[in-house]
Chains A and B, each alone.
Chain A
């Protein structure tokens, strides 16, 4: 069972490597969207520093949405979904494998790209560890919620439009606590409670999102 799980992740990683442009797209969008803020708001370092946590989190949220449409959509279109469901793995584990692949190909690169973006926006170096500590569960949450939503809207006529409408409201708690943690670190306040709430959110999403996604996959195959 674990071997099959790993094989699905490995297959998706290989596909992501072959279609490198699609994979890089999300990261480039993230950096570009972040770079637009100084242009739009003016080069005041104080203003940018204050807005940086929110900018980084919102851009990461939007960038993580980009590849979701194809996460299960491509599998449904070419008939692979049927074969994945017939692997003998519970559908929730198939979904979790796809979510893991999404995190490895989107969440992890975003995490790395967040560092130059943070420096660019003038966040103090001391807050970088807090930024990463928040974005790590944050991107994991985005992969879980995003994969869940992608599985639920799978087969719907306007799935691509529904997807952000479903993910964005669900992801707001992560956004609030994640940005608040960096803000707290910047102003010297305790940031641990915010990170703990973020981890609690992740702990809740980890079992629930794959279950919902599995049901979505079954329904889409019918």
Chain B
């Protein structure tokens, strides 16, 4: 996958300015940068959820935005939110995303087997995060896009995440993750997003009479 010169505006503000990157099979990339630097936005663009204002994403040489539903099949995305329905059990929540693949190994990968018949509203924040990670494993996709995957995880779960990431990469999968804390991703490339210059973030709002 190659990403060429992606730029994204949010409102009047330039969040991503000409970001380029390339990924090989088995590769991993960590996105770092201060809050508001556009890490999550970049992940959403890569997932095809948001169109970049300029630049393109090439998947095996073809533009990913030509057929976004096709591109989506290569993607497993973990956002800030867990996207679980509190009224349904873990199994029922994940069934939609299994599409015929076995559910048990994905649950096992994050120690969720005993919890699988519980309604999600009874789970803790860390357990929900693990369930969302199980969905990523379940998607069986080439590229994992993880937005702060270790948020709320205990030491053992982080270890499990490391195992899952390694299995995925050894099978030729790719990982792009944003993080503020160290992740169990050995020899990953790092792309530091600089963040918006200070005057762009505050200057306009003041200048344009932001209080009114």
Residues of chain A touching chain B, judged by Cβ–Cβ distance below 8 Å, are 3-4, 7-8, 11, 14-15, 18-19, 78-80, 82-83, 85-91, 221-222
Contacts and interface: CB of A to CB of B under 8 A. Distances in A.
A87 B81 CA distance: 17
Contact of B50 (A8, A15, A221): A221
Contact of B84 (A19, A78, A82, A86): A78
Considering the complex of A and B, which 10 residue pairs feature the smallest CB-CB distances, nearest first? A79-B81, A79-B83, A18-B87, A88-B73, A80-B83, A86-B72, A222-B50, A7-B96, A88-B72, A83-B83
Given A78-B82, A222-B49, A15 B87 contact: yes
Interface string B68-112: 011011011101111111011000100111011000000000000
B95 A11 contact: yes
B2 interface: no
A14 B84 contact: no
A88 B69 contact: yes
Contacts of B70: 88
A177 B70 CA distance: 41
15 contacts: A7-B99, A11-B85, A11-B88, A14-B88, A78-B82, A78-B84, A82-B49, A83-B77, A83-B83, A85-B49, A85-B72, A86-B48, A86-B49, A86-B77, A87-B72
B137 interface: no
Nearest to B74: A88
Contacts of B50: 221-222
B174 interface: no
Contacts of A80: 83, 85
A89 B100 CA distance: 15
A24 B76 CA distance: 36
Contact of B92 (A14, A88, A221): A14
Interface in B170-193: none
B160 interface: no
Nearest to B84: A78
A206 to B, nearest CB: 20
